[in-house]
Structure 1
C-alpha cells in the first residue's frame, strides 16, 4: 500500500508541474516552449501519439517518487525529494534536451525555428529557470508526500 501512496505523491507532483506548464504555454505565454518537454521528446522520436505524452509524463513522475521511497523509506524528507529532482533536472538538461534538439541546457538553436513550431524553444535562461523551478516543486511535493507515508498507518 505504501508504494501506491508513493506513486500518488509522484502523480500529484507531476500534475502540479503539468498545470503550471499548461498555464505557461496556453494562458500566459510565459513558457519558453510550445510543447512540454515530455511531449517534445516523444515528438522528436515520432511517438507523440494521442495520450502517450501524458502517460509518459505522469508515469515518469510516479516512477521516480516510488524510487525515492524505495531508497529512503520512512526517513525520506523534502530535502531528499529536492535532491532527486535536481538530479532529474540534470538528466533533462544533459540528455533529454539534446535529444529533443534543444541542446545542452537549452542552448541548441531551437530558437531559430518558427515561433509556432512544436519544437521551438526560446533562447536564453528562461528554459533553465522554469524547468528548474518546476523540478524543485515536484521534488518538494514527492519529498513531503513520501514523508507522510511513514507517519500514516
Structure 2
C-alpha cells in the first residue's frame, strides 16, 4: 500500500514539475509579448495553433499548454525515473522544439522554422502574425531549454527526496 502511494506521488510530482516548467515558459512568453514587446508573435504557439483551428476560446489554450508540459514531464520520468537529469530534460525539450518547428509551426501558418509561412504577411496586429524568423527560432528554443532544465532538474530531485523519506520511515 505504501509503495503504491509513493508511486502515485512520483507521478503527481512529475505532473506538478511539468506544470511549473510550463508556467515559467508561459510567464516568459507573456513578458515578451505584453511586457517588453520583443516576442516575434502575438500569441503563444499553443494558442496560435488553436486560433488557426478556430478553437482559441476560454481556458483551452492554457489547458493545452499546461497539459502538454505535464505530459512530457511524465514521459521524462517514465523513460528515466530517478536517472533523469538536466541534460536528458534538455534533450527531450530540444526534440519537442524541433517537432514544433517542423510540424506545429507550419500548421499555424508560420512555416518550417518560421520560414515562408503566411504569418509573415499578416498585419502586425493579427493574432497569427509572425515577425522575425531569427527571433522566433531563438526565442522558442530558449523557452524550451528553460522548460527542459526545469523538468530535468526538479524531477530527479523530487524522486530522490521521495526515496530518502521512504528509507527513513522504513
TM-score between both structures, scaled by the size of structure 2 = 0.88
1:42 alignment partner in structure 2? 50
SS at match of 1:125: helix
Instruction: Choose the corresponding residue for 1:32, options 18, 29, 40.
Output: 40
- Structure 1 runs (4+) greater than 2 angstroms displaced: none
1:113 alignment partner in structure 2? 122
Deviations 1:42-74 (A, max 9, x none): 010111110000000000000000010001001
Unaligned 5+ residue runs, structure 2? 1-8, 163-170
- Cα deviation for residue 123 of structure 1 reads 2.9
Query: C-alpha distance in 1, partners of 2:78/2:133?
Result: 37
Match status 1:145 vs 2:148 = no
1:56 alignment partner in structure 2? 64
- Cα deviation for residue 151 of structure 1 reads 1.2
Query: C-alpha distance in 1, partners of 2:43/2:83?
Result: 36
- Cα deviation for residue 104 of structure 1 reads 0.1
2:95 alignment partner in structure 1? 87
Q: State the structure with more CA Rg.
A: 2
2:133 alignment partner in structure 1? 124
How large is the Cα RMSD of the aligned pairs? Answer: 0.7
Query: C-alpha distance in 2, partners of 1:100/1:124?
Result: 14
2:5 alignment partner in structure 1? none
Match status 1:74 vs 2:82 = yes
- Cα deviation for residue 109 of structure 1 reads 3.7
TM-score between both structures, scaled by the size of structure 1 = 0.98
Q: How many residues align?
A: 153
2:166 alignment partner in structure 1? none
Query: C-alpha distance in 1, partners of 2:42/2:159?
Result: 39
